[in-house]
């Protein structure tokens, strides 16, 4: 029987277990998008994950949507991330870079020249964004011209190249959680009338062409995609998520990507059973899993591996705790994006904690 400790091949990636670390923004970079020594320590502490998927990383300055989030847009970012990947590899781990363009979920104060955030269409999201000045309501984004889209796709491919230069083992396009890719995919945020909008075939085109560009640059066997079908986070309301995501998976099938991360809401609108047969690489399920539900989904074959978010923040040695049924710590939400070491690198591994008692 397949267990969480059974190794897994995902394209070029070789995972020693199926307990994976979900991508999580932690807002510990500086204002230029450079990560430092704390980030290297944080990820190295979690190197026993079968695979680490990094926090969302912007591929161009217009893709930044939160304070102190990191970038992969120039040589300074490559040098900064190199320290992280070296630390993870020295600790025996594997890490892929999540490329995340936030599109309309940004604020002029985070963008070059106080620019207006860009999106497929000028549809203002309900809600707001946390800035150092407090919660600010979202602004109405500027709709991208057709001629501008190619440059954004090229910048995703460049970020993939820079990720490999920085020593990452692969790349993932963030296609979920209401950011730029989801804004193209979803009917309420994409009311375009060119080849990137309208029918499901047109709405999936941005993601398909971006993946083609990323995979064409670094290889499909180390390129993956994250989707969150039916999730309404960031004011996403797709009229027919099943049609959208089935169309998307059919369109990317010929690319032979390494892995697909599917992290819907806990009660999925489109089930894993519908999506899984449409993808030939490693199928990774995330969102709301505990040890028992993770064991069950892997044993049933409905997913190849499971991603853990909050549990990996609080338990840097999560695979070991599962293996020996050891107690689990809970994450402190107040420090998720707080900056600094507290709630970042100070969750002990179990043997460190036992030694300290």
Ligand X SMILES: Cc1cc2nc3c(=O)[nH]c(=O)nc-3n(C[C@H](O)[C@H](O)[C@H](O)COP(=O)(O)O)c2cc1C
Enumerate the active-site residues: 179
Can you tell me the distance from the alpha carbon of 200 to that of 350, in angstroms, rounded to the nearest whole number?
48
Task: Name which of 85 and 181 has its Cβ closer to ligand X.
Answer: 181
Closest-CA residue to 210 (of 99, 75, 71): 99
Task: Name which of 28 and 205 has its Cβ closer to ligand X.
Answer: 28
Query: Are residues 66 and 129 in contact, defined by beta-carbon separation less than 8 angstroms?
Result: yes
Report the nearest approach of ligand X to the CB of residue 293 (Å).
Answer: 10
- Which residue has the closest beta carbon to ligand X? 309
How far CA 67 is from CA of 61, 63, 174, in Å, comes to 12, 12, 18
Report the nearest approach of ligand X to the CB of residue 286 (Å).
Answer: 5
Residues whose CB is less than 8 angstroms from the CB of residue 98 and which lie 6 or more positions away in sequence, other chains included = 23, 53, 54, 55, 56, 57, 171, 172, 173, 174, 226
Can you tell me the distance from the alpha carbon of 25 to that of 339, in angstroms, rounded to the nearest whole number?
11
Can you tell me the distance from the alpha carbon of 78 to that of 61, in angstroms, rounded to the nearest whole number?
15
Task: Name which of 158 and 287 has its Cβ closer to ligand X.
Answer: 287
Report the nearest approach of ligand X to the CB of residue 288 (Å).
Answer: 4
Q: What is the phi-psi region of residue 325: left when phi exceeds 0, alpha when psi lies from -120 to 50, beta otherwise?
A: left
Report the nearest approach of ligand X to the CB of residue 341 (Å).
Answer: 16
Query: Residue 148: how many CB atoms within 10 A of its CB?
Result: 11
Query: Are residues 29 and 39 in contact, defined by beta-carbon separation less than 8 angstroms?
Result: yes
Task: Name which of 238 and 261 has its Cβ closer to ligand X.
Answer: 261
Query: Are residues 229 and 286 in contact, defined by beta-carbon separation less than 8 angstroms?
Result: no
Query: Are residues 120 and 196 in contact, defined by beta-carbon separation less than 8 angstroms?
Result: yes
90 phi/psi in degrees, rounded to 5: -60, -30
Q: Which residue has the tokens 């020594």?
A: 37
Task: Name which of 174 and 192 has its Cβ closer to ligand X.
Answer: 174
| Interacting residues with ligand X (CB under 6 A) | 22-25, 55-56, 98, 100, 174, 176-177, 226, 263, 286-289, 308-311, 336
Task: Name which of 117 and 197 has its Cβ closer to ligand X.
Answer: 117
The token duo for 93 is 């781990």
Q: Looking only at Cα atoms, what is the longest distance across the chain?
A: 64
Question: In the chain, what is the straight-line distance between the N-terminal and C-terminal CA atoms, in Å?
Answer: 37
């Amino acid at each position: 029987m397949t267990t969480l400790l059974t190794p897994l091949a995902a394209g070029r990636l070789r995972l020693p277990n199926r307990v994976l670390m979900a991508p999580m923004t932690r807002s510990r970079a500086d204002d230029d998008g450079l990560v430092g020594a704390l980030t290297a320590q944080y990820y190295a502490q979690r190197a026993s994950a079968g695979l680490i998927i990094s926090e969302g990383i912007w591929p161009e300055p217009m893709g930044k949507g939160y304070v102190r989030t990191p970038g992969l847009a120039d040589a300074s970012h490559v040098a900064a991330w190199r320290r992280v990947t070296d630390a993870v590899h020295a600790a025996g781990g594997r890490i892929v870079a999540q490329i995340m363009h936030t599109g309309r979920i940004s604020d002029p104060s985070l963008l070059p020249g106080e620019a207006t955030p860009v999106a497929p269409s000028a549809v203002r999201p309900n809600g707001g964004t946390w800035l150092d000045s407090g919660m600010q309501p979202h602004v109405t984004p500027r709709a991208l011209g057709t001629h501008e889209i190619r440059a954004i796709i090229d910048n995703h491919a460049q970020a993939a190249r820079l990720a490999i230069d920085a020593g990452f083992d692969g790349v993932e396009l963030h296609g979920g959680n209401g950011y730029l890719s989801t804004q193209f995919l979803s009917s309420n945020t994409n009311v375009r009338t060119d080849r990137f909008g309208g029918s499901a075939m047109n709405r999936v085109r941005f993601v398909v062409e971006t993946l083609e560009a990323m995979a064409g640059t670094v290889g499909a066997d180390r390129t993956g995609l994250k989707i969150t079908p039916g999730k309404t986070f960031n004011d996403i309301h797709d009229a027919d998520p099943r049609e959208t995501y089935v169309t998307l998976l059919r369109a990317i099938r010929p690319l032979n990507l390494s892995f697909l991360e599917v992290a819907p809401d806990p009660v999925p609108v489109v089930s894993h059973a519908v999506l899984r047969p449409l993808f030939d690489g490693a199928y990774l399920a995330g969102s709301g899993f505990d040890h028992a539900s993770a064991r069950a989904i892997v044993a049933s074959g409905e997913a190849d591996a499971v991603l853990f978010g909050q549990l990996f923040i609080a338990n840097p040695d999560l695979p070991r705790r599962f293996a020996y049924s050891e107690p689990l710590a809970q994450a402190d939400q107040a420090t998720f994006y707080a900056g600094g070491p507290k709630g970042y690198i100070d969750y002990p591994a179990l043997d460190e904690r036992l030694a300290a008692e």
